[in-house]
Structure 1
Amino acid sequence: MDVNAAVAAVAAIAGACTGVIAMLAFRWSERDQARPTRTSLHTDAVLPPGVDTVLSVLRSSAVVLDESDSVVKASSAAYALGLVRGGKLAVEPMLQMARDTRRDGEIRQVELDLPRRGTGRGEALAVSARVAPLGSRLVLLLVEDLTEARRIEAVRRDFVANVSHELKTPVGALSLLSEAVMDASDDPEAVMRFAGRMQIEATRLTNLVQELIDLSRVQNDDPLEDAEPVRVDELVAEAIDRSRQPASTKQITMAAGGTPDLHVWGHRGQLAAALGNLVENAVNYSPAHTRVGIAARRVTAPGGGGTSQAEGRGGLIEIAVTDQGIGIPDKDKERIFERFYRVDPARSRATGGTGLGLAIVKHVAASHGGEVTVWSTEGQGSTFTLRLPEAGAGRDRSSRSHHDHTTTEPLTAPEVLP
């Protein structure tokens, strides 16, 4: 019996020890699971309450770093800009700023130019980075993309510089010519010659100021507030009449063709100015004894699924102006719609061009929900095509029977252009 009692006691003691060990192991496992790991540090749980919500509504790219420089939180914009890669901040100057701020608690800000990801063209991405401490362990990095703001500022500076230069030329010429007239007061022939030059420069100055006003209007005004159905035939006739005198001087033939009785929806004055600029350029940049054609047709807008005869939904009107002029080099085609850009500055000044005409055309087309495109070959001529939404109210209801035919008509005027 004593032996059995001893065995039972030993078994009881062993069972108790096993239970204690199991309990300790379970407790250790719970403690180990609760201990923060490197992975768990990268979750939102380590952020102070409310910070995650605030970061989600910020327009800036946001990155939160811990004491080991690992990314705890990063917005989608930060990944899109290439700031975060592999859980780390990929921009060394920003990383150094974060370390300095973590060390002394100072808020820092700097502007940087970063290479764009995936372009291979060395284009810079302008950003403003601001680093601030977030609690006792974390650092917050906010990055603002300044690329578009820089571009707009550069355009503004170029515009001011170009306007100043363009205004200075005729104003300076008028000043010199007026002095010449005063010095030649006893020479009627010289006075007449200088007065004629003064008229030319004054006209150039007037045209420049007027086109600056027109450009400002088309950029700032909403043309669709006073929109109405406008007959394309009337726009074409007005554009031809505007350039009739210079065309006659150069013996350039102008004629219209294409589909008759079309209407576009928009501001009549702006549309007339845009088409007039295209026809005027065609005449100015064409040699004598050539032809300029203006043709209009109806087409189906991409994705329009056809054109509604009743309301004009999905329909576009194309108005093409074709010349047999000097053409445009390939390298200049993407820039000809920029303000004050000239393919041939000397020729532009000789024809009185300001370099604003095509910029006005582009803005008018865009503000009317359309576009302007160009096809050109050096030495063969150019075709500028203005595409605008069709006005359903002005359509001839009888066109239902031949609508499919009119959408495939050639864009050029066969009786004008070879």
Structure 2
Amino acid sequence: MASPSAYSYGFVRSGAVVSGPVKDLVAEARAAGRPRERELTVPRGPLAGAGQMIFEMRVVPLSDGRVLVVADDRTAARRLDQVRRDFVANVSHELKTPVGALALLSETLADAADDPEAVRRFTGQMKRESGRLTALVQEIIDLSRLQEPDALVDSELVALDDVAAEAADRVRVEAEARRITVAVGGERGLYVHGDADLLTTAVRNLLDNALRHSDTLGRVSVGIARDGDKVRLAVVDQGEGISPEQQERIFERFYRGDPARARRTGGTGLGLSIVKHVAADHGGEVEVWSKPGAGSTFTLVLPLADPPTQPDTTGATTEP
């Protein structure tokens, strides 16, 4: 006897155990006459390029030469552990860079105290590095908050008009410094269920990304539109665009297609990862369209919520 999962995972075929690692563990248990437990890494299929699955396997001898084999799929848990380890390692590396730069600059500044020009140059560099460090710490905090199981425990009705306007306001100073126009438009009066602060952070991150990759005197637009039972919030820029190879990786944590440009513009490599998490936590997704030389469009696709009801002068409730 075998469960459907045993067949779907490839342990059993035509009524017989065919997985080599499982067969070996069964043979051990039979020979010893005692239960055997082991974590096994099993190929997902017969092809050489197949991925790996990780199982906690327990084999218990029964009567009449039979054995009971129980497999607990631990692939997702192990992958999560690896992601966490990689995240901690990446955070450590990313934090060391601006902290080390600040330490070095402060020492150099002390030695150049009698040179006003050098002091101005080094203090400017210190300001940039401290800004980068502040942004990195804030984005780590944002990402950590998103990984909490109760991130949206206080979900509420959120007006996307307010989200787009607030996000645009937060990047206004940066946009003016770069002489880039930020325009907000589209369909008004659309709502979603969720966390207004997280959604504003996601849109602000998309705007930050668009500004960093736009030329001076360019234009960045935010548009909102209904799409059936969904709502689409798009951020469009006229920048250099993203190659197809980079599009496959841009939502990875700490991934930066052009590290030199990221250092120059203050990118941390976490912004788009946060956007992806926010979209997923709100039951949606983020889409990207881009072509080198033709700019990029990032779109938050979220479930549409019914607008709030408002009481009329008679005390009844009416739609706005």
TM-score by length of 1: 0.69
Match of 1:126 among 36, 54, 63: 54
1:137 maps to amino acid:
G
In structure 2, the CA distance between the partners of 1:238 and 1:97, relative to structure 1 (3 Å rule), is: closer
Tell me the amino acid that sits aligned with residue 296 of structure 2: S
Seen in structure 2, the aligned counterparts of structure 1 residues 90 and 191 have a Cα distance that, compared at 3 Å, is: same
- The within-5 A match list for 1:152-301 is 152-220=80-148, 222=150, 224-301=152-229
Instruction: Report the 3-state secondary structure (helix = DSSP H, G, I; strand = E; otherwise coil) of the residue aligned with 1:337.
Output: coil
2:243 is the counterpart of 1:329? yes
Question: 1:352: which partner in 2?
Answer: 266
Q: Secondary structure at the match of 2:301?
A: strand
Q: Distance between the aligned counterparts of 1:204 and 1:117, measured in 2?
A: 45
- Within the candidate set 50, 72, 75, 1:147 is matched to 75
Identical-pair percentage: 52
8 Å CA contact 1:261–1:395 kept in 2: the answer is no
- Answer whether contact 2:25 2:36 (CA < 8 A) is retained: yes
Amino acid at match of 2:197: G
3-state SS of 1:392 partner: coil
Matching residue of 2:280: 366
What is aligned with 1:15?
Answer: none
Q: Helix, strand or coil for the counterpart of 1:378?
A: coil
Structure 2 Cα separation of the partners of residues 100 and 362 of structure 1: 46
Residue 136 of structure 1 deviates from its aligned partner by: 5.5
Please identify the structure whose Cα radius of gyration is greater: 1
Q: Quick check: 2:21–2:42 contact (8 Å CA) kept in 1?
A: no
What are the residue-to-residue correspondences of 1:93-112 with 2, within 5 Å?
93-112=21-40
Offset, 1:132: 2.9
Shift of the alpha carbon at 1:119?
Answer: 6.7
Report Cα offsets for 1:351-394 as digits up to 9, x if no partner: 11111111111121222222211111111111111122334234
- CA gap of 1:187–1:372, structure 2 versus 1, over 3 A, is same
> 2:232 and 2:21 mapped to 1: Cα distance?
52
1:270-321 CA-partner distances (Å, limit 9, x unpaired): 11111111111111111222221111111212xxxxxxxxxxxxxx221111
Greater displacement, 277-286 / 185-194 = 185-194
Conserved 8 A contact 1:222-1:367: no
What is the CA distance between 1:343 and its match in structure 2? 1.9
Structure 2 Cα separation of the partners of residues 278 and 119 of structure 1: 39
- How many pairs does the alignment contain? 311
The aligned amino acid for 2:293 is G
Unaligned segments of structure 1, at least 5 residues: 1-72, 302-315, 397-418
Matched, 1:342 2:270: no
Paired residue type of 1:339? R
- How far off its partner does 1:223 sit? 5.2
Cα deviation, residue 322, structure 1: 0.6
Distance 1:227 1:100 in 2: 52
- The amino acid that maps onto 2:245 is K
1:83 equivalent in structure 2: 11
Write out per-residue CA displacement over residues 1-60 of structure 1, whole angstroms, 9 at most, x where no aligned residue: xxxxxxxxxxxxxxxxxxxxxxxxxxxxxxxxxxxxxxxxxxxxxxxxxxxxxxxxxxxx
Distance 1:235 1:215 in 2: 19
* Compared CA separation, residues 395 and 371, structure 1 to 2 (3 A): farther
Equivalent residue of 2:222, what SS? strand
CA distance in 2, matches of 1:238, 1:226: 20
Residue identity matched to 2:135? N
Residue of structure 1 aligned with 2:231, choices 275, 295, 317: 317
The whole-number CA distance in structure 2 between the counterparts of 1:77 and 1:282 is 45
Q: 1:226 to 1:146 in 2, by over 3 A?
A: closer
Alpha-carbon separation, structure 2, partners of 1:139 and 1:227: 49
With the length of structure 2 as denominator, give the TM-score of the two structures: 0.88
